[in-house]
Every structure is written in structure tokens, then in C-alpha cells.
Amino acid sequence: MSFLYPLGLLGLIGVPVLITIYIIKNKYTEQTVASTYLWTLSERFLKRKNPINKIAGIISLILQILAVVFLSFGVAHPVFTLPGMANRYTIILDCSGSMRTEQSGSTRFDIAKDRITDLVTSTAEGSAYILICAGDATTVYDETTDKDRVLSVLNDASAGYASASLDTALTSAQSIFDENSSTITYLYTDKSYQSNNNVEVVNLSAGESNYALGNIQHSVEGGLEISGTVISYEDDATLNVRLTVYRGDDHDIETEELICARLEEEEFSFSFDYYTFDSFTVEIVQTDSQPLDNAVTVYNTVSENSYSTLVVSDDPIFIVSMLESTGYATADILSTEEYSVRYATDSASPSYPEGYGLYIYESFNPQVLPRDGTVWLFGLDTNLSDASFSVQNEVTLESYDSLTFARQTNTTLTSILEGVDTTGYRYNVKKYIKCSPYRNYTTIATCQSNPVIFATQTAYGNREVVFATTFGDSDMALNFNFLILFRNLLTYSFPSAVENTLYACGENAVVNIVGNPESIAVESPSGDVTYLSVSGVQSQFLLTEVGTYTLTVGNADSRREYRIFSMLPESESVITVTEYAFSLAGEQSHDGYDGVYDDLIILFVLLALVLIADWGVYCYEQYQLR
């Protein structure tokens, strides 16, 4: 036995002090009686009736001495050594999404934490603990012998939503085991392993029922088509899939019943005769132990983006008809004269329009370009300081000549020419303006090696598409192939901040930096807000929760919201999993540490009993003296 605070034993000096006080203390008390005769009779009666009265003082002294001894030992904090009773423990906790599966009102993760708590509290004092949490990023906590610290870290731990590989945890555990082969390793998970040498796997799976959605897809080519699959992982089941489509203030609800055999995917599909929607939600009506994979929401980027267009032209019939053919782009029209008057293009400080996603100028030279949207320029023959090309001269051909499409393999050109017949159909031009683009440009089509259609950026960082010819000087408006190119250029010109609205948790969501936003705020399903960098072309953020993320993009005067849904990864829907191995290489030894026992509860109980007994003796003496 040793003492944590040996100076506390100085309190034992109180023992001889108590004995000295007992010896020198006056044993007699002064009493007033009516007569000596009555006192003699009373004394004779007391001696015969209460023989314990003679030793009451000694009992009180003994109790006081014991109280001093127990109190001194309590202050000194005795520690008893338990040879070979302590161990070194490595505790691995699976923090993947499947650990959120519920069992009788608690999740697997909560059950794992309770079992780890029981393990830690039941082990001998002096044992060492290393906690490894294997989640989105595996965290290895420093070794400690402080149980309270381990339990505090464990209490703060939480299960993620994404898939969690245990490879890093295994590597860390192997390193710890190599350092000391007597380490006892526990793995708390919902997966079973065919091999688990030197590791005790605590499998928390209980064969719960689980249904999951998958392969959610939609198209709007011939009307809205929505499809997907449903699977039951544990049992055969009859499931109802409910679809809710939201369109403005209206919504449609359809339900389909599916008979699902265990582990076999069943397909479902829904059809509607309209093309546009705001969002739709697919959900399994029946409840199970893992509700996170029972509902998926898809948001429509078209409905959340602004496809408003300002057309400045004296003959806009071709442009407007092609815009209307898309079914989603809307156009406001101004003649060149109206535009010049409204925005004072002949003044020293010309203004510019705002609030449109696309500005199209046909055979008109604006003095300054708008700053908040994409710009298309047809037949511009004057240099502009905020454009990204210079005008050299006009080229008139003797006869119509065809344009040649560029053959680069960059991503921008590939997306613009997708579906365009670049060999069979050609655009013919009679006249074009020779231009020299110079800022981040992509050539789309050339004539006599001169770029006639190209994409670049304005001085404000917005996209710019230049047609160095007009509809009157070419046959583009009469060419069906041009309609495909026109639609592709619209897609390029209306870059949505969010192009994909459905991800799996654990993936990086991609955000396009469009319209020169001052900020992009991302709010997670739990309400946490982070801000993305707006300095590049794209930004990304990691999806760590299941549910809807809200992106707020814009400036102080103009803000737009986009939504992204993060679904549970398919691998975490399989809540009963058998893996091949989770084993530590080497030979397990059994060399324990010396444990300690320093629980003072017994001393405090004895001290309380002694104090109560001493108080009882004191009360007895006072009663006898009455």
C-alpha cells in the first residue's frame, strides 16, 4: 500500500492529543440535589441499573481516535497495488452511417458507447486506454489511464452518415499491438468478420429489418419520367413507394406497391405529361430500423435558375423563336433605339441593364456591357473595353463559305458541340468580322482560319459568346443543326451554381462560381453554416450529413437559393455485413500491469459510522446526567 498524499498522515498526531485530553480531563461534574439521602439512594440505583456508564467515556475516546485515523487516511489517499490486474486496451468504435440503425429505441452507436462505458468502468485502475473512432476521418486519441477522460471523449463521439473504412483503424491498432503485444483490442461494430485474430469483435447487429431506395433517376424529354429501385435486405416484404412531385403551389402524389424478395431489387417508375417541376420526393411508406435511406428528394436546377433574357435587336424574330423553343427561357425585347434612350449610351457615363441571366445584342454596339450575366454579341464591329476581343476589319466573301468546327478536346468545347453534326451540316457565311479574342477563349467555328464563333469572358468574369456574323449574312437561322448549337450555348450561358442536386453522403458537392457572387453560404441539414471560396471557377464542399443542404449565392442586393440532397450511401443501407478479416498480426501475450485500488468509499462509510456512534455515546452521557 502507498499513499497519494502522505502528508495527510500528519493528522494521526491527533490520536495522542485525544488520549492526553482524556487523561487530564476532569471526570467529575457538579450536581445540585435536594438532600444527601436522596442522592445516596439515586447513586445506588444508577450503579445497579446502568453498569455500562463506567466505560462510556472509554468508548467515546476509542470512537474519536478511529475518526481521526480514518480522516487522516482519507486525506492521505491510500492506494493498494493489485499485481498483474491492469491491462492496456485499444478500443475501436465504428462511426459509420449504419451504426445509426435503431434497436429498441436506441441506435447501435449508443449501445456500443454503453458497452464501452461498462468495459472501462469494470477494468482495474491503472489500466491504459486508447480510443480509435473510425468515421469520415479516423481519429486516434492519445493513451491515457484516466477513465474519466476516456468516458468524456466517448460521450462526445458521434456516428457519421457516410461509409467509414476501418483500414486506417486497423493500421493504427496493428502499430499499437506491435509496440506491446499484451494490448487487448476490442472492435465495436455492426459488421461480422470471418477472421479476427487478436481482436475481440463486438457485433452489434441484430438482424433488423431494413428497406432502401436506390438508382433514383428522372428525365423530361417526353414528359417527366421518374424511376428507381427498392430492396429489402433482411426479409421478403410488400412495400409501397410514394412519389410526391411539387410544382409551385401544386403537388401530385402517386403510389406503387412492390413485392420484394430478400436482397432482390424491384424497379418502379412514374410518368407525368408535364416537363417542369420544382422538386420530387420518393419515399418508402413502411417504417424500418434505418429510416435514413427510406426517402430521397431531387431538386430541379432549371426551376431554381434564372433563364430570363434581354434581347436588344431591331429584328429579333429568329432569336426569340429559338429561345421560346427551349420551353424554359423567357425574353424581354428592346429595340436598339429604346436601349440607347433607356441606358443613355451616348452619354459620358452610360448605364447598363441588370437582373437578367443572358443579354443578347444583335447588330448593336453597347457602350458598356452588363455586369451580372452572360453576354451574346452578334456582328459587333466596334471595340469595347470590357469585352475580351478586338475588332480588326470586316471580311466580305465572293461567295458563301462554310464554317469549320474546332476540334479541340477541352471540356467547354465538348459540351457546346454535344449533339451537333460537325461534319455533315455546315453553316455558310457571306460576310464576317475578323476578331482577335485574347482572354480565356474557346474557338467554336472558324472561316478561313479566323474565329467566327467563339466563347470567352467579359472583363467582369462573366461568360461571353461572340458571333462575328449576323443572321442576315449567314444561313444559321435556316439550319436545323444550329438549333442544337443554340441550345447548347444556352446551357453554357446559364451556368447554374448547382448542376447536380443529388449526391451520396461522403461525396464532394460541386458549386459553380457564376455571376460574381460576394459570398456562397452552405447550410447543412443540422443548421451549421459554412462559407465557400468564390475566387475560382468552381468550389467544393464535403457532404457529411443526410438531408437537404441549402446554398445561398449572391450579393447584398441579389440572392438566390439552391438545394442539394445528400442521401445515405448504398453501402450503409446494408446493415448486416460480413467482412473477410479484421486481424492483428503477431502473437498475443498476457503480461498485465500492476493495477491499483484507491476507492475511498469504504473509508468514508466507516468514518460516517464512527461519527454516528460517537454522537450516540455523547447523547447517552447527556441523558444520564439529567
User: What is the C-alpha separation between 235 and 166, in angstroms, rounded?
Assistant: 28
Beta bridge partners, 565, equal: 502, 548
Helices and strands, counts by H and E, the chain: 13, 36
Judge whether 360 and 312 are in contact, CB under 8 Å: yes
Low-confidence stretches of the chain (pLDDT < 70) are: 1-5, 8, 25-54, 56-57, 73-74, 77-85, 303-306, 345-347, 425, 515, 555-558, 591-600, 603, 620-626
Q: How far is CA 581 from CA 257, 277, 584, 587, in A?
A: 39, 48, 10, 17
User: What is the C-alpha separation between 250 and 247, in angstroms, rounded?
Assistant: 5
Residues 152 and 86 in one domain: yes
Q: What is the DSSP annotation of 141-159?
A: PPPBS-HHHHHHHHHH---
Judge whether 503 and 524 are in contact, CB under 8 Å: no
Residues 343 and 469 in one domain: yes
Judge whether 162 and 505 are in contact, CB under 8 Å: yes
Residues 131 and 219 in one domain: no
Residues 456 and 385 in one domain: yes
- Other beta carbons within 10 angstroms of residue 487's beta carbon come to 18
Judge whether 516 and 558 are in contact, CB under 8 Å: no
Residues 222 and 191 in one domain: no
Cβ-based burial of 127 (10 A; exposed 0-12, middle 13-18, buried ≥19): buried
Judge whether 275 and 223 are in contact, CB under 8 Å: yes
Residues 217 and 203 in one domain: no
Beta bridge partners, 225, equal: 219, 271
| Domain end position, chosen among 440, 459, 493 | 493
Matching residue, cell 452489434: 204
Question: For the domain that residue 419 is a member of, what is the CATH number?
Answer: 3.40.50.880
Residues 377 and 485 in one domain: yes
| Domain end position, chosen among 567, 587, 611 | 567
Residues 176 and 200 in one domain: yes
Residues 553 and 607 in one domain: no
Q: What is the DSSP annotation of 323-383?
A: HHHTSS-EEEEE-HHHHHHHTTTTSSS-----S-SEEEEES---SS--SSSEEEEES--S-
The candidate with the shortest Cα–Cα distance to 569, out of 235, 214, 206, is 214
Residue 327 gets the label, from left (phi > 0), alpha (psi -120 to 50) or beta, of left
Residues 488 and 518 in one domain: no
pLDDT at position 29 is: 60
Q: How far is CA 547 from CA 64, 375, 565, in A?
A: 67, 36, 6
Judge whether 496 and 563 are in contact, CB under 8 Å: no
User: What is the C-alpha separation between 87 and 618, in angstroms, rounded?
Assistant: 49
Chain CA centroid to CA 56, Å: 72
Residue partners of 536: CB distance under 8 A and separation at least 6 = 513
Amino acid symbol at 478: L
What domain count does the chain have?
5
- Other beta carbons within 10 angstroms of residue 125's beta carbon come to 16
Cβ-based burial of 403 (10 A; exposed 0-12, middle 13-18, buried ≥19): buried
Residues 132 and 182 in one domain: yes
Judge whether 470 and 379 are in contact, CB under 8 Å: yes
pLDDT at position 10 is: 79
pLDDT at position 376 is: 95
Residue partners of 513: CB distance under 8 A and separation at least 6 = 497, 520, 534, 535, 536, 537, 538, 539
Give me Rg for the CA atoms of the chain.
42
| Cell matching residue 89 | 486496451
Cβ-based burial of 17 (10 A; exposed 0-12, middle 13-18, buried ≥19): exposed
CA distance between the termini of the chain: 47
Q: How far is CA 560 from CA 328, 401, 523, in A?
A: 18, 44, 14
Specify the pairing of strand 593-597 against strand 78-86.
antiparallel
| Domain end position, chosen among 299, 325, 351 | 299
pLDDT at position 478 is: 76
Quote helix, strand, coil % in the chain, to nearest 5: 30, 35, 35
Question: For the domain that residue 266 is a member of, what is the CATH number?
Answer: 2.60.40.10
Average pLDDT over the chain reads 84
| Cell matching residue 583 | 486481424
Judge whether 397 and 474 are in contact, CB under 8 Å: no
User: What is the C-alpha separation between 333 and 311, in angstroms, rounded?
Assistant: 5
Task: Please give the residue range of the domain that contains residue 448.
Answer: 308-493
Beta bridge partners, 90, equal: 130, 185
Strands (E) in 403-477, as ranges, are 404-405, 428-437, 442-447, 450-457, 463-467
Residues 363 and 395 in one domain: yes
